Amino acid sequence: MRIEIENFGNEIKFIENNKLTHYGMYSISWLKHKKTLFSFDDKLISTLKSKVKFSGIKHLINFNNEILELKLKGGLLKNYYECFYKKVYYQIIIHNGYKTSIFMNNKQIAYYDKKPLAIYDSQKALLICNSDINKDLIYSFISALELSLEQNENISIDFGNISKDFKSFDDKWIPEN
């Protein structure tokens, strides 16, 4: 399954077969940062908050009335994110360059590939995934990592992840269904 991702400043959109299915927003109110993900019919899917502390970076995701922690793990240069949801282990690896892989119980279920050039602060990506994934949850993970409050710029170039890989990207992986 192929899903387009459009990230424009403080908004993100997930588009399947040229139809908007989900969208997210980043907002600030009373100095509190908040990210929200909605379905195309404005149903709230998740709220997300990022926390940066000396102990590390984590994203708190309120998903189906359960608080999930998407935590940064690994070393200074080789790292990844992990999260547990209903006894299922999710791992997100941001590879060197523009690709990010998503694993469920140590088996790859998806990856997305960001485009290096952003025009007027609009960055595009393509999500390749198995058709049986929990899209709401995966979109929540992507929104937690990719949504930010950016200033509008004419043209910017994203150099991608320039640190070392925790695990190399598998060029041979294809979706199962």
Whether residue 170 lies inside any domain: the answer is no
Whether residue 123 lies inside any domain: the answer is yes
| Number of structural domains in the chain | 1
Task: Answer whether 148's CB lies under 8 Å from 26's CB.
Answer: yes
Q: Which amino acid is at 89?
A: Y
Whether residue 164 lies inside any domain: the answer is no
What is the residue range of 56's domain? 2-157
> What is the tens place of the pLDDT at every residue in 7-31?
887 899 999 999 999 999 998 877 7
Whether residue 144 lies inside any domain: the answer is yes
For residue 11, the tally of other CB atoms under 10 A from its CB is 13
Whether residue 175 lies inside any domain: the answer is no
Name the DSSP class of 161: B
Whether 77 shows a pLDDT value over 90: the answer reads no
Q: What would the two tokens of residue 111 be?
A: 């990856």
More confident residue, 113 or 166: 113
Whether residue 171 lies inside any domain: the answer is no
